[in-house]
Amino acid sequence: MNPGDLSWEPMKELGHLRVYPRTNTDEVVARSADADVLVINKIKITENLLDSLPRLKFICVSATGYNVVDMQAACKHGVIVSNVPSYSTASVAQSVFAHLLNVTNRVDAYATQNRQGMWSESPDFTYLNLPCTELSGKVIGIVGLGHIGRAVSSIAISLGMKVWAYTSKRKEDLPDGVEKKSLDELFAGADVVSLHCPQTQETFGMVNRKRLAQMKPTSILINTARGGLIDESAVAEALKYGTISAFCADVLYEEPPKSDNPLLNLENAYITPHIAWATREARERLMAVCVKNVDAFIKGKPINVVS
């Protein structure tokens, strides 16, 4: 949330604040023993940990997902848990199209060639050695139509794309221009598939060899949701053998990934290091809501409660 470019002052005004940029598992109890409130991100709060923190009353997860907290144990110990919903919707939706436009317009590839002097050596005013694709009229299939999925659908419609969605929402409740499809229909017919669903037991590894085999060889797969939705070896194989044309992702199953992850060195895999959420504007919103969550708890009227 704050690698050093934001201020902790608003949080300091609420009480005695200690900030630890990184905390190992074996350091949590010592660092939290006298805390009434914890603001956390990736630290796992287990029942054993809560047993060791009898003073703790409130946990603010500085993220939308709160699966790092054992919610049953938190309730048992009377610890209230809040999260920060929807702070990065615009930033993640923007990242989806940064990836997509990079692939369809070959932005990075052409910029790299220009640095190598290719355009300067061209006999024509246009140096065109890589095909570019127009998105207008193409079909984007969105898996999960929550806040981010809806934002992606809105941008896609403004670009002239047809939008299909796999969602639990009723057809009558979908935004204008969004057509409800089954998962099989979506993967088989879409030119672009963008994942925006939570990672659950049902969705873990949902994009596997069988699902990839349904897709068009010209299709683009985008994942800015959770790394576990993807069978990475199956996607690497699909890219290698032309089952799909490109894979764009801001998340991987293991983060940071091992250097031998097969997706990292494929020319048609475009991987960013989990930065879609991390624009300064999104982090400022995240910080502001964390402060509001803690302030509301102190005042006895907690908000954004998920416990």
Instruction: Look at residue 257 in the predicted model and tell me its pLDDT.
Output: 97
What digits encode the pLDDT tens for the residues 210-247?
A: 999 999 999 999 999 999 999 999 999 999 999 999 99
- Mean of pLDDT values over 76-102: 98
Domain shared by 126 and 225, yes or no? yes
- Confidence band, pLDDT 50/70/90 cuts, at residue 193: very high
Of 31, 185, 274, 284, which one is the catalytic site residue?
274
Interatomic CA distance for residues 32 and 29, integer angstroms? 5
Residue with tokens 């409800």: 180
In a domain, 250, yes or no: yes
Domain shared by 149 and 62, yes or no? no
Domain shared by 230 and 205, yes or no? yes
- Confidence band, pLDDT 50/70/90 cuts, at residue 261: very high
Domain shared by 59 and 15, yes or no? yes
Which among 209, 207, 165 has a CA at the least distance from the CA of 186?
A: 165
Residue with tokens 């949330």: 1
Domain shared by 239 and 175, yes or no? yes
Of 99, 211, 226, 283, which one is the catalytic site residue?
226
In a domain, 2, yes or no: no
Quote the DSSP letter at residue 258. P
- Mean of pLDDT values over 30-38: 97
Which tokens belong to 206?
């949902």
- Confidence band, pLDDT 50/70/90 cuts, at residue 25: very high
- Mean of pLDDT values over 165-171: 96
- Mean of pLDDT values over 101-121: 97
In a domain, 304, yes or no: no
- Confidence band, pLDDT 50/70/90 cuts, at residue 56: very high
Instruction: Identify whether 255 is a catalytic site residue.
Output: yes
Which pTM was predicted? Answer: 0.94
Instruction: Look at residue 180 in the predicted model and tell me its pLDDT.
Output: 98
In a domain, 303, yes or no: no
Domain shared by 55 and 189, yes or no? no
Instruction: Look at residue 210 in the predicted model and tell me its pLDDT.
Output: 97
> In the chain, which ranges are E strands?
37-40, 58-61, 80-82, 139-143, 162-166, 178-180, 192-195, 220-223, 246-249, 269-271
Residue 269, strand partner residues: 247
Instruction: Look at residue 8 in the predicted model and tell me its pLDDT.
Output: 97
Instruction: Look at residue 208 in the predicted model and tell me its pLDDT.
Output: 98
Instruction: Look at residue 30 in the predicted model and tell me its pLDDT.
Output: 96
Instruction: Identify whether 55 is a catalytic site residue.
Output: no
CB 73 within 8 A of CB 12: no
Instruction: Look at residue 57 in the predicted model and tell me its pLDDT.
Output: 98
- Confidence band, pLDDT 50/70/90 cuts, at residue 298: very high
What digits encode the pLDDT tens for the residues 126-149?
A: 999 999 999 999 999 999 999 999
Residue with tokens 């085999």: 213
CB 14 within 8 A of CB 295: yes
Domain shared by 192 and 110, yes or no? yes
83: burial class by Cβ within 10 Å (0-12, 13-18, 19+)? buried
Domain shared by 17 and 101, yes or no? no
- Mean of pLDDT values over 236-262: 97
Tally the domains of the chain.
2
Mean pLDDT of the chain: 97
In a domain, 44, yes or no: yes
In a domain, 305, yes or no: no
Instruction: Look at residue 194 in the predicted model and tell me its pLDDT.
Output: 98
What separation, in Å, do the N-terminal and C-terminal C-alpha atoms of the chain show? 22
Interatomic CA distance for residues 28 and 36, integer angstroms? 14
**Residue 184: domain span:** 89-271
Name the strand (E) or helix (H) holding 167. Answer: none
Interatomic CA distance for residues 186 and 219, integer angstroms? 12
- Confidence band, pLDDT 50/70/90 cuts, at residue 294: very high
35: burial class by Cβ within 10 Å (0-12, 13-18, 19+)? middle
Instruction: Identify whether 254 is a catalytic site residue.
Output: no
Q: Which amino acid is at 5?
A: D
Q: What angle do CA 297, 298, 300 make, to 5 degrees?
A: 65
Of 47, 134, 254, 255, which one is the catalytic site residue?
255
Instruction: Look at residue 10 in the predicted model and tell me its pLDDT.
Output: 97
- The domain spanning residue 150 has which CATH number? 3.40.50.720
- Mean of pLDDT values over 274-296: 98
Instruction: Look at residue 241 in the predicted model and tell me its pLDDT.
Output: 98
